[in-house]
Amino acid sequence: MSGFKKAVRDYIWAKVLLVAPSGAGKSYSALRVTKGMIQAHEEKTDEKASVAFIGTESSRDKYYANEFDYDLLQLSAPFTPESYIEAIQMAIDGCYKFLIIDSTTHEWAGTGGVLDIHSKIPGNSYTAWARVTPRHNNFLDAMIETPIHVIATVRGKDEYVMEEVNGKQVPKKVAMGYSQRDGYEYLFTTSFMIEQDTHIASAMKDNTHIFENANAVLTEKHGVAIYEWATGGDVAEKQAELDKSKEEGKRIMQESIEKEKETQSSQKVESAPDDEKIETPKKTAKELIAEITTESTRLTKAGMAPKAFLEVFANAGFKVPKDDVPVEKLQAALDVLKGM
């Protein structure tokens, strides 16, 4: 049996991350970038290529099926790290060269995701991470270290800031970080932050050095540039820089775990006897609705549009404040309104 095989030039498997608050166009941007990468691939190799799309957004995974060509695999809860790993392996086994994962937030913060798994482990929280982190790291390895180009999305942590427009204070939704473990963006070749209102992307981290000072809406041209960078030049030098960046990401992730350990240690104080403990009573739904009404009146006078209130309520998990809405959701909406 011959041990010879056709020699193929080494190249980088590009890993791209798109971070944005809801409504900023993560899915659409991912499809445009991937389309550009495929165009460059087909022009360079004269080989047809298809896109594997791992979707977690239910019916929204199909919104752009008439505009883009992709093969969809939909995940549903529980969003365990293993379910993502299995889906990624299916894409590799299917000989796909391009993979979109929309989104990776669910693996971290979704039902059955890492935080959910961690919260259900009894005992010390820091000790529990020793059981959960290896599962999360296996997911990261499956996505970052395997031979496939990956364009992944992650939800930004939506927050509102007040911005003056035409003399009025108007709330603007912005992404403050993202819903994954700290240091996540360092694992990728390039990580973009997309603005919610303008859809303009800026590079959070860029090993290609192509997009460091280029703020623009992501298009197929970005995909072409990423593919050309990944398949040209000094591969060894580029890989060394990527490896250094990934090590930085892993260091930051470990620091976040150690920080939790320190926090828990500092909070270990002698508890008062049960009969001396005073519990703060939870507010009722009616009380919370009254406070929401007060805050809404204040913000309306400041120029806040009705649509913005509906977005706050939707993000908290309900349409309008009513007595049958869980108090936790009403409290979440009230907290947001008070911070605006």
User: Three-class SS string for the chain?
Assistant: CCCCCCCCCCCCCCEEEEEECCCCCHHHHHHHHHHHHHHHHHHHHCCCCCEEEEECCHHHHHCCCCCCCCEEEECCCCCCHHHHHHHHHHHHHCCCCEEEEECCHHHHHCCCCHHHHHHCCCCCHHHHHHHHHHHHHHHHHHHHCCCCEEEEEEEEEEEEEEEEECCEEEEEEEEEEECCCCCHHHHCCEEEEECCCCCEEEEEEECCCCCCCCCEECCHHHHHHHHHHHCCCCHHHHHHHHHHHHHHHHHHHHHHHHHHHHHHHHCCCCCCCHHHCCCCCCCCHHHHHHHHHHHHHHHHHCCCCHHHHHHHHHHHCCCCCCCCCCHHHHHHHHHHHHCC
> Which pLDDT score, from 0 to 100, does residue 268 have?
47
Domain-located, residue 330: yes
Kindly state the average pLDDT of the residues 121-144.
Answer: 90
Domain-located, residue 7: no
* 143 and 52 share one domain: yes
User: In total, how many domains does the chain have?
Assistant: 2
Domain-located, residue 325: yes
* 78 and 117 share one domain: yes
* 129 and 31 share one domain: yes
* 225 and 291 share one domain: no
Domain-located, residue 31: yes
Domain-located, residue 8: no
Q: pLDDT tens digit string along 314-328?
A: 878 888 888 888 888
Query: Looking at the whole model, is its pTM more than 0.85?
Result: no
* 112 and 152 share one domain: yes
* 161 and 222 share one domain: yes
Which range of 14-28, 118-132, 234-248, 285-299 scores highest in mean pLDDT? It is: 14-28
* 193 and 97 share one domain: yes
Return the higher-pLDDT residue of 168 and 103. Answer: 103
* 231 and 119 share one domain: yes
Among 260, 276, 305, give the residue marking a domain's end: 260
Return the higher-pLDDT residue of 221 and 328. Answer: 221
* 145 and 29 share one domain: yes
* 124 and 28 share one domain: yes
Kindly state the average pLDDT of the residues 256-262.
Answer: 67
Domain-located, residue 25: yes
Domain-located, residue 91: yes
Domain-located, residue 189: yes
Task: List the domain range (segments joined by +) for residue 37.
Answer: 15-260
pLDDT band at 339 (very low <50, low <70, confident <90, very high): low
